[in-house]
Structure 1
Amino acid sequence: MKNHIENVINWLRQQVQDAGVNGLVVGISGGIDSAVVAHLIQRAFPEDSLGVIMPCKSNPEDAKYAQMVVDSSGINSMTVDLTETHDVMFHTIKSATSEWNEEQEKLADANLRARLRMSTLYTVATNYKFLVVGTDNAAEWHTGYFTKFGDGGVDLVPLIHFTKGEVRELAKELGVPDEIINKAPSAGLWEGQTDENEMGTTYDMIDRYLKGEDVPEKDKQIIERMHHNTAHKRALPKAPPKF
């Protein structure tokens, strides 16, 4: 893992140099993936890295874990509370929509939060001349478990070749607090939400699938269906052929 960490840090530095910018910014949720990225970018750019904590109707526990990431990594940080912004925007959109689909409300609400966070990160990044660093790992990238133009709207994705298990190993090597490493993965989109309950399978199963190992047929079907249905998230916008 020491070699992987050094390689990623060197890669991050090269991307900043190639882009002619000053440093890197990441959104810190208090989860393991953003914790690992925060530690990596702080090591790559001790003075020119920034972690942004963006509560949005969030569980107060999330702020506690996010602060643990800041303290353990030593990264510069700021907090932008998006709760009021989200309320105004969501209710404005909802009230202007003549046929509101109540069945889709939870998803629309959650995706708007993710996209507000993306807009916040890019506004901050522009101010400091930074690149926005994403936190998706191999399992999330393969299954499309991210919001298009939300947490998927980034410049760099340093973790997409690492399984969830490998991210845990990186976290241990980097000094991420055990409380963060061991807590149930969650996007914090609503009370009691966890990644694995929402996906219907586990990160362990997805990791095994990605390594070419045998997994139960039920899990295999879930993983392959998610990958197929989210192909558009991993591709550039489609255009017709030139007529």
Structure 2
Amino acid sequence: MMLDPRALRIDPSFVERRILDFISEQVSAAGLKGGIVAVSGGLDSSVTLALSAKALGGNRVRALMMPEQGLTSESDITDALEVAEMFGVTCDVVDITPVIRAIYSALPNYDPQDLISAGNVKARVRMIINYYYANRLGKMVIGSSNKSELLTGYFTKYGDGAADLFPLADLYKTQVRQLARHLGLPRRIIEKVPTAGLWPGQSDEGELGVKYELLDLILLGWERGMSVESVAEELGVGVELVRGVFERVRRSRHKRVFPLILRLSSNKSELGSGSSWGGEGGRS
């Protein structure tokens, strides 16, 4: 079978070494003093914080926990602070509630029933705070998006999708869990229900309509250039489910590319390459 779960197994020690070198080299090459990591108390940000601290030293990393009143749980704040303490990182808690309320009140067409638009404001407010700290402290923003999220477009463009580095971007969600166990993160964080925390009751798998264990195998089939029908047959799932995942990848491509530039000259530069993360992948 091409899509056996064993195909997603990683060598966590090897992956850890590669990521530590990547973070260290990129921060050094940029001439910056360290890293900024937004933390939520969840799996991905906890792994990113742990790796950043191991790569740079905890004293060169600043963690930011940015809760919203009435939505972010105390347990998530506690978990984020615990992981920061585990790896010797200072974690600032910045309440975003006054900021998002001010933005909502300033928008003539604000609609609280439009959960996605309102939720994306929160993600972009957190991005602004990340980069304020990065500018103020001379550090690089280290993002925590994984391959499953990036390929399906399950992130906010210029929100959590905005960072200088994505150390986990070539790891599926299930692979990030493997790495988390290797790093010794608390079990409750590893097994926590994944959520972006943008509105009450939100969960990744609820929005995506599929468990990560299955989603990652479907995406692996897409990466290997398999057809919708072949993936569905091999995994024993419906064709419509697989087609829906492939469509998510296709429709979200604009979120993974730099803004396109109209070429008006023959001069060569890095501008307007339109390069994307994730390539073209499988057939729909």
Q: TM-score, normalised by structure 1?
A: 0.93
Task: Return the offset for 1:75.
Answer: 1.8
* Residue 92 (str. 1) matches residue 114 (str. 2): no
Render the CA deviation track for 1:189-224: whole Å, top value 9, x for unaligned: 111111000111121122112333634223312211
* Residue 236 (str. 1) matches residue 249 (str. 2): no
Cα distance in 2 for partners of 1:74, 1:240 equals 47
Task: Return the offset for 1:13.
Answer: 0.6
Number of residue pairs aligned between Structure 1 and Structure 2: 238
* Residue 78 (str. 1) matches residue 87 (str. 2): no
Of the two, which has the highest radius of gyration? 2
Task: Return the offset for 1:101.
Answer: 5.6
Equivalent residues in 2 for 1:4-153, closer than 5 Å: 4-46=15-57, 47-57=59-69, 58-60=71-73, 61-93=75-107, 96-97=108-109, 105-153=114-162
Point out where structure 1 has 5 or more consecutive residues left out of the alignment. none
1:211 match: secondary structure? helix
The residue aligned with 1:168 is 177
Task: Return the offset for 1:32.
Answer: 0.2
Task: Return the offset for 1:102.
Answer: 6.2
The amino acid that maps onto 2:250 is H
Q: Which has the higher helix share?
A: 1
The ranges of structure 1 where at least 4 consecutive aligned residues each deviate by more than 3 angstroms after the TM superposition are 100-103
CA RMSD of aligned residues (A): 1.6
Same amino acid, percent of matched pairs: 32
Go from structure 1 to structure 2 and tell me whether the alpha carbon gap of 1:130 and 1:193 turns closer, same or farther (over 3 Å shift): same
1:27 match: secondary structure? strand
Go from structure 1 to structure 2 and tell me whether the alpha carbon gap of 1:101 and 1:28 turns closer, same or farther (over 3 Å shift): closer
Cα distance in 2 for partners of 1:84, 1:101 equals 18
Cα distance in 2 for partners of 1:36, 1:49 equals 14
Render the CA deviation track for 1:11-66: whole Å, top value 9, x for unaligned: 11100111111111110011100000000001111120111000123322321222
Q: TM-score, normalised by structure 2?
A: 0.80
Moved more, 50-59 or 205-214: 205-214
